[in-house]
Amino acid sequence: MELSYEGTSFVGWQRQPKGESVQACLEDALCILFRESIAVVGAGRTDAGVHARQLFAHVDLPVKLPEDLIFRLNKLLPKSIAVLALFPVLQESHARFDAISRSYTYIITTKKNPFLEKRAYQFTKNLNIDLMNEAAAILLTHKDFKCFSKSKTDVKTYICDVLKANWERKEHKLIFSIQANRFLRNMVRAVVGTLIEVGLEKVSIDDFKNILASRDRSQAGYSVPAHGLYLINVSYPKHIFAV
C-alpha cells in the first residue's frame, strides 16, 4: 500500500494509547471494510508532526480485493491521509525489512510565510550553505551515527549507510535532502540542527567531525521542529512484487 499524509494532527505513524495515529486510521478503515481486525505494518515510524509524501505499508487481506478498494478506503480516511496505490507482493514480503533505502527532505523557510507555518521551519538568520554542504558530505563517509540518535533508543546498531546528503536554496527556502538505508530515531532532525550550527559558524568542520566521533548525543546540535520534515521516498527491490 502506497500512501501519503500531512502529519500535523497525528501523534506519528504508530498507534498510541492517546492521540490519533496514521496506523490506527488505516487499521480502523480496513476493519470497517472487511469486518475484522487487520494489522498494518509500515516501512517506518514517523514522529508526531512529520509528513510523508510517500510511505509504504503492508497488509494481509482475507479476501480478493474489490476493484474500488482505494476509493472506499479514501472515503473512510481523514482528508490528511491518502491511499495512492495497492501492489500485490510475495507472501513473505515486509514493508519495513525489505526496504533498501529511505529519503527525507527538511524544509526551512527564510522568511515568514503563512502558507508554510505548519509545513516548514521558519529560520531567518543568515546561514553559510557552502559550509553546511561541506559538513553534509562528511556524513557519506561515516557509519556510526549514535551522536544523532535519540537517547535511550532500543536498537542493536547505530550503523547507517548514508547515500546522499545535501542542501539547496530555492528562492526563500533551504531544502536538505538525505537518503540512507536506514535512519535512527530523531536522526534527521538532529543532523539538520547540527548543520544549522555549522551554517551559523558556531560549529567548525573539525568540530563536526569530532561530534560524529564522540557518539554522544549531547555533543550534537538541537533537534529541529518536526513540521519541516518529510519522508519522500521508500525504495524496494523488484523481486518482492508478485507478477
| CA 120/CA 151 separation, integer angstroms | 25
Please say if 68 is a catalytic residue.
no
- In CATH terms, are 2-97 and 101-233 the same topology? yes
| CA 85/CA 6 separation, integer angstroms | 17
| CA 188/CA 54 separation, integer angstroms | 17
pLDDT per residue as tens digits for the range 2-44? 999 999 999 999 999 999 999 999 999 999 999 999 999 999 9
Query: Could you identify the residue written with the cell 510511505?
Result: 55
Instruction: DSSP for 125-191, please give it.
Output: S---HHHHHHHHHHGGG--B-GGGSPTT---S--B--EEEEEEEEETTEEEEEEEES---TTHHHHH
Rounded (to 5) percent helix, strand, coil in the chain: 30, 25, 45
Query: Domain 2-97 falls in which CATH fold?
Result: Alpha-Beta Plaits (3.30.70)
Q: In a 3-state reduction of DSSP, which class is residue 93?
A: coil
Q: Beta 229-235 vs 51-58: how paired, if at all?
A: parallel
pLDDT of residue 156: 87
Query: Domain 101-233 falls in which CATH fold?
Result: Alpha-Beta Plaits (3.30.70)
| CA 211/CA 221 separation, integer angstroms | 9
What letter would DSSP give residue 228? G
Q: Which of 47, 68, 144, 154 is catalytic?
A: 47
Closest CA to 61 of 53, 70, 52, 48: 70
| CA 28/CA 37 separation, integer angstroms | 8
Q: Beta 162-170 vs 173-180: how paired, if at all?
A: antiparallel
Give the count of beta carbons closer than 10 Å to the beta carbon of residue 30. 21
Q: What are the residue ranges spanned by the domains of the chain?
A: 2-97, 101-233
**pTM (predicted TM-score):** 0.94
Q: Which residues are CB-contacts of 122 (< 8 A; sequence separation ≥ 6)? A: 108, 109, 110, 111, 112, 113, 116
pLDDT of residue 65: 84
pLDDT of residue 151: 79
pLDDT of residue 243: 66
Task: Show the low-confidence residues of the chain (pLDDT under 50).
Answer: none
Identify whether the C-beta of residue 168 lies closer than 8 Å to the C-beta of residue 175: yes
pLDDT per residue as tens digits for the range 172-184? 999 999 999 999 9
